[in-house]
Structure 1
Amino acid sequence: MNRNSLWSLRLGFSNNQASAIENLGIEKFLEQSLQVPFDKNIPAFLESSPKTYADLKEMRQKAKESDVEGKRKLLKESNDINLDMKSWWIDKMLNDEFPLKEKMVCFWHNHYVATYQKIKVNYWVFQHNQILREHAFGNFKELTKQIVQSNAVIRYLDNNENKKGKINENLSRELLELFTIGIGNYTEEDIQNGAKGLAGLGIGEDKATYHKKDEDNDPIVYFGKKGVFKIDQMIDIIFEQKNIPYFITRKILKWFIYDSPNEKLVTHYGDYFRSVNFEIKPLLIKIFTEEFDKNTAGSKIKNPLEYSLQLISELNIDIKNNNYLANFIRQQNMDLFNQPNVKGWDGGKSWLSSQMYLQRNNLLYVLTSGKVLNQKNLNDPSKMDGTKMDSNKMDDTKMKQTPVHLDWNKGDNKQIIAQLSNRLLFQVDETSQKDFESILKYDFDENAKNADQAVLRLFTNMIKLPEFQLI
């Protein structure tokens, strides 16, 4: 098994960085990955999306005055922009030279959940995503301060409804339970008093701001400290708590390496995280360099992004439109910008229900067949087992084709089997070896006209195995 391929997939979404890891070494590779600049540019598709609170009120008024058809059109336009944003993000994951930043943004995206489905303002969702990108490798405490004061989080967790005399505890609770220290490390009184400290923190022009008429300025007791505390002071107090580092180090280990991380590792890295004052960059370097030399392959189920982007990379497919890939990922319950609830995607075994496994094989068939990726052939159940399509359902002769090219080094059948299994990251047992040799036979001619198709057939059968679902 190729360790560099394993870590290329763990620190990105494909095998594309394997040679860089091998040539640079893991430490220098990480150094370059962690220096990727922050792109401040606003994508063109957001041009018509409301950006200020005044823009939003104007759009709402327009919707209020519109007839049913007008309302439907405005909703479609907003949903189309959101799909464009998903495609834009997938493009960055596919094409960035060092995709570790986007993988870390996706981690934070699932940590500080704020969905478009509830927020309904694409620009605020984009701002949320950009805060995560700007601070992806920065300081955990500073990132928490920035993201909690985003309009997206305020809207998603209803803090715009949190006012003196009419307290809403949603943000106060999730700040502790899901963003920082986790269940069991705070009291209900901390939540109630925290909500008072957050009262009046509402939607602002560029970020959340306190509205004086809604503030509660009475002294509160928060984690044993008494005073008039606002959001920044509250987060400072939270980060003084004993258990603050372990909740996040456990989640980082789960995201990158282990579906069930050892608690000794969680404590080991958590203690270090506290010692570097919650700086994310040194924590990641320590985790990745220390875990790199361990035999950890197969300790995590691939999420839908890792599965699909690895396939596209292996097959050297030029995706012209990522919208359909975004929809496949949505089918796999990993809808970008739209997690199922405030806890985010569960990960682990939840990625591999029987239905999801069939959908993955469906995507595999579509891609290896060279079919243009579109929603119709993604949804066609006749492809879930790789069988030929019914001509009544879809005319293959009229479907456009997209070039598919699998890279492989010439050799005999056993050498090619070893090469692909090494790259695709699983051990071949005796039974699998015999199965593979029945597909790519002992008399395989590497120079034959159909050699590429034969190796692609072997590749397809390897991908179908349960082992390929692991990383």
Structure 2
Amino acid sequence: TIFGKTSNFDGEDFLDAIANHPQTAKYISAKLWNYFAGEMPSKELNEALADVFQKNGSKFKPLLCAMFRSEEFYSPHLIRNQVKSPVQWLVGTVRMLESELPPAVVCWGLTRNLGQDLFAPPNVKGWDGGLTWITTNNLLSRYNEAIALVQGDVTALRGVVELPNPNATRLVNERLQRSRMPRVDPKRILTEKERADKNVLIAALEKRLLQSKLKEKQRQALQDYLDSKGALDDDDVLGAIRLVMSTPEYQLT
């Protein structure tokens, strides 16, 4: 007997009964919302999402579409309330800069240096996440790795990997240094006007990298940097990108 029904159930039947139970839909919907939004959904929202999940045969795509298209998902108090994990930071950066993922060994070194050793979580629960991603060392590493990603400069990654075995550490770091990384192409992500006009450039970088305005102090620092340049060239634009990537807001999602 399971959930009030008695029959000659086998293992598959038990799993089907659990998967199709209304409480399962609520549980899955709440867990997904908490993962993406950073807090548990209201009772009403949870029930609405669970209803979408059940009516669509327990398919995740309709549920995720309903989540991401809901007004609640874009509530002001949910914006920038989670720290990006190293993987989110790396993949999100590459996508926003319309660049390419570095070679696998570089991706592994980058995320490991930021506290997320891919495919080797600290325990079965996984990583704690949240503010644990941000330490004094990790934050500095994010800034240095931003240089590597934007400039395609592997020298910024020198010594990023430390392993228990000194020989393994040396070999991995030597391989990192031999790797090639693509340099961000400003012409690919910014129009000619955005690259030439400093105020327009700031607005374009805010939109592309933050989807919000810089705080006054940070905007002024960026303005001062650009004002110290003459006519902007690609290196100046890449420097501006690095400055935005070094703001607290860029570490949040």
2:209 match: 424
1:244 match: 24
Q: Post-superposition shift, 1:281?
A: 2.4
Q: Post-superposition shift, 1:466?
A: 0.8
Highest CA radius of gyration, 1 or 2? Answer: 1
Counterpart CA distance in 1 for 2:6 and 2:115 is 43
1:286 match: 66
Match of 1:458 among 230, 240, 244: 240
* Aligned residue identity for 1:412: D
Counterpart CA distance in 2 for 1:427 and 1:469 is 14
Q: How does 1:31-180 map to 2 (within 5 A)?
A: none
Q: Post-superposition shift, 1:272?
A: 2.9
Q: Post-superposition shift, 1:261?
A: 3.6
CA 1:272–1:326: 2 relative to 1, 3 Å: same
2:199 match: 414
CA 1:443–1:458: 2 relative to 1, 3 Å: closer
Counterpart CA distance in 2 for 1:361 and 1:315 is 16
* Aligned residue identity for 2:231: D
Contact residue 102 and residue 181 of structure 2 kept, 8 A: no
Q: Post-superposition shift, 1:434?
A: 1.5
Counterpart CA distance in 1 for 2:118 and 2:9 is 34
CA 1:244–1:321: 2 relative to 1, 3 Å: same
Unaligned runs of 5+ in 1: 1-220, 381-393
Matched, 1:361 2:146: no
Contact residue 83 and residue 131 of structure 2 kept, 8 A: yes
CA 1:239–1:368: 2 relative to 1, 3 Å: closer
Contact residue 259 and residue 301 of structure 1 kept, 8 A: no
Matched, 1:276 2:63: no
Q: Post-superposition shift, 1:368?
A: 3.4
2:39 match: 260
CA 1:246–1:338: 2 relative to 1, 3 Å: farther
Q: Post-superposition shift, 1:424?
A: 0.9
**TM score, norm. by length of structure 2:** 0.73
Match of 1:339 among 90, 106, 121: 121
* Aligned residue identity for 2:215: D
Contact residue 259 and residue 348 of structure 1 kept, 8 A: no
Q: Post-superposition shift, 1:414?
A: 1.6
Aligned length: 230
Q: How does 1:281-360 map to 2 (within 5 A)?
A: 281-291=61-71, 295=76, 296-315=78-97, 317-319=99-101, 321-360=103-142
* Aligned residue identity for 2:205: L
Counterpart CA distance in 2 for 1:276 and 1:313 is 30
Q: How does 1:377-396 map to 2 (within 5 A)?
A: 377-379=159-161
CA 1:400–1:354: 2 relative to 1, 3 Å: same
Q: Post-superposition shift, 1:323?
A: 1.7
Contact residue 150 and residue 183 of structure 2 kept, 8 A: no
Larger proportion of helix: 2
Unaligned runs of 5+ in 2: 163-173
Match of 1:437 among 223, 234, 246: 223
Q: Post-superposition shift, 1:344?
A: 3.0
Q: Secondary structure at the match of 1:327?
A: helix
Match of 1:235 among 15, 19, 22: 15
Percentage of identical aligned residues: 26
CA 1:332–1:232: 2 relative to 1, 3 Å: farther
Contact residue 249 and residue 269 of structure 1 kept, 8 A: yes
Q: Post-superposition shift, 1:369?
A: 4.2
Contact residue 420 and residue 459 of structure 1 kept, 8 A: yes
1:165 match: none
* Aligned residue identity for 2:25: P
* Aligned residue identity for 2:131: K
CA 1:347–1:228: 2 relative to 1, 3 Å: farther
2:165 match: none
* Aligned residue identity for 1:429: K
Q: Secondary structure at the match of 1:440?
A: helix
For residues 334-385 of structure 1, the C-alpha deviation after alignment (integer angstroms, 9 at most, x for no partner) is 44433333333343333334443232223113333432379644349xxxxx
Counterpart CA distance in 2 for 1:223 and 1:340 is 37
CA 1:240–1:415: 2 relative to 1, 3 Å: closer
Counterpart CA distance in 2 for 1:224 and 1:440 is 70
Q: Post-superposition shift, 1:436?
A: 1.4
Q: Post-superposition shift, 1:458?
A: 1.8
Aligned-pair RMSD on alpha carbons? 3.4
Q: Post-superposition shift, 1:464?
A: 0.9
Contact residue 30 and residue 40 of structure 2 kept, 8 A: yes
Q: Secondary structure at the match of 1:236?
A: helix
CA 1:230–1:357: 2 relative to 1, 3 Å: farther
Q: How does 1:186-201 map to 2 (within 5 A)?
A: none
Counterpart CA distance in 2 for 1:371 and 1:266 is 46
**TM score, norm. by length of structure 1:** 0.42
Q: Secondary structure at the match of 1:283?
A: helix
CA 1:224–1:339: 2 relative to 1, 3 Å: farther
